[in-house]
Structure 1
Amino acid sequence: MIKIGIVGYGNLGKGIERACEVFEDMEVVGIFTRRNPEDIKAKSAVYSVDELPSFKDQIDVCLLAGGSATDLMEQGPSVLENFNTVDCYDTHAKVPEYFDKMNRIGKENGTLSLISTGWDPGLFSIQRLFSECILPKGDTYTFWGKGVSQGHSDALRRIEGVKNAIQYTIPNQDVIEKIKAGERLELSTRDKHFRECFVVLEEGADEKAITDEIVNMPNYFSDYDTTVHFISEEELSAEHQGMPHGGTVIRIGETSNGCKQNYEFSLSLDSNPEFTASVAVAYARGVHRAFKEGKTGAITVFDLPLSYLSVYTDEELRKNYI
């Protein structure tokens, strides 16, 4: 059994716990939280995050469920000093910076971290690279939604004066149809998606100031046409509790002059956090295997063979999947 620690117990942390019930070779040693452990209702044992170092010899991989906006830049390096880690860091622009930091700490402490898994970054990263390797002449487009972005919703909730919030990413369907029809388009970030935010304010909070902070937030909203709605807690609870998401990677290429090829990979998800969690848990299996073979530092989804994610032997994979 692979011994798992879950660091954080928001939507992603809950999804990881559920995924570990499905993955028969995974066992959750504990959930580690900044909140009062007695306030957490979970099937697994719950501890204060301050107790995590004392579990050093009992956990094979820690899955980090903190948010990318503020948590993981501190949480990741701290946990990696004592444990192998898998995270879903999704601030694309800062991935190189985060990787370098985690790689250094992992090398110094003899631990291994896989960063930025999930479905984007993660599975979509693989599809972008794979399709471009196959079709070197062409254009790649990624679209997300319509759905709830966990990272962007978390970034909203971190704003002072925001009591609760959720954010929907909405793809530009007109642009998608043009691409599928064969048009090669030069698209800005703003051309491809819209962002729609539903925000519950703390009493006395300034709507205009918070709107300005949201629409100008770098790496999250400033590059998009963003609409902000202020609603009640009751309306948020009644109309925005689901967490669907999905998206599409499209590569339009040519294998010879005039011979067009369309490579498309898509996801349609009832629960963004549960699917993201399942990807992270699968990669925890791969990290555990790579670590046992002597790998340390930091890696991404590009660095592990698919066979490392499977419970099957190489012989079984060749027999049943080739």
Structure 2
Amino acid sequence: LPLQGPELSRLFNTVDSFDTHAKIPEYFRQVDESSRAAGKLSLVSAGWDPGLFSLARLLGRCVLPSGHDYTFWGKGVSQGHSDAIRKIAGVKNAVQYTIPVESALQRVRSGKNPELSTSEKHIRECYVVAEEGADREAIEKAIVTMPDYFKDYKTTVNFISEEELKARHSGMPHGGLVIRTGTTGNGTGQRMEFSLDLESNPEFTASVILAYARAIARMAKEGQTGARTVFDIPFGLLSPESPEELRKIIL
């Protein structure tokens, strides 16, 4: 995707789910440059995180400017992290679960606004099927030291058989929540939460992308070009209903 996104945006209006948070600004710059030069419109980093969770974080900061936001993922299978493990030499198959630390979650909900490091909020649990004769120690080291994915997290690596992986780890559930805690007035405590509980991460992500594709198609017809993020698109453009219908049925 880092290579295909900028190239395809020269040819088509696109919507993608680029999800390496630390690299989004540079990826956005590349796609913006290529799509703008070609007169195309592209949405980058759509999905639920980045995507819907990004919007929840933004809304929380706007409504409760005096406060802290926290993002918890899981428990669930991370597709991107699982794919990253599968690319390691000697790995036949792998699944990675992201698991929130319950004690950290309770500290946040208590309104104490704790300062939590990445490793204090989540653990990453990996189940790996190694190729026959592969160096398992080298595989484990490659996983736990991988930047942007595992390096800053408490990570456990479990080597299992292909049969066990298929029997016990073939689903694709995921979820998580964004919490904003803060104060209004003279120290009145407030808390906002947005949560997801998904039986199928890829199916839900696809639903988000399809909704945003509708918006991009409408915006492209207006002659807009370049790159956008979810921050740049009004919710109303995602809906098949007209503005009049939306005002009548759900406002």
TM-score, normalization: structure 1? Answer: 0.77
Find 2:61's aligned residue among 113, 123, 132: 132
Does 1:73 find its partner at 2:73?
Answer: no
CA distance in 1, matches of 2:212, 2:201: 17
Q: Which runs of 5+ in 2 are unaligned?
A: none
Q: Distance in 1 between matches of 2:62 and 2:82?
A: 34
- Residue 155, structure 1, aligned to residue 62, structure 2: no
Quote the Cα distance in structure 1 between the aligned partners of 2:63 and 2:244.
27
Q: How does 1:1-322 map to 2 (within 5 A)?
A: 72-322=1-251
Superimposed CA distance per residue, residues 258-292 of structure 1 (whole angstroms, 9 cap, x where no aligned partner):
21111011000000110011000100001101111
Runs (4 or more) in structure 1 with deviation over 2 Å come to: none
Aligned to 1:69: none
Which structure's relative contact order is higher, taking Cα pairs within 8 Å and 6+ residues apart?
A: 2
Does the residue aligned with 1:170 lie in a helix, a strand or coil? strand
Give the TM-score taking structure 2 as reference length: 0.99
Aligned to 1:19: none
The Cα offsets for residues 135-164 of structure 1, whole Å up to 9 and x where unpaired, read as 000010000000000110111111111111
C-alpha separation in 1, matches of 2:137 and 2:186:
53
Deviation at 1:174, TM superposition (A): 0.3
Task: Tell me, in whole angstroms, the C-alpha distance in 2 between the residues paired with 1:266 and 1:303.
Answer: 22
Unaligned 5+ segments in structure 1 are 1-71
Among the aligned pairs, what percent are the same residue? 61
Deviations 1:199-245 (A, max 9, x none): 11112210000100000000000000100011110000000011111
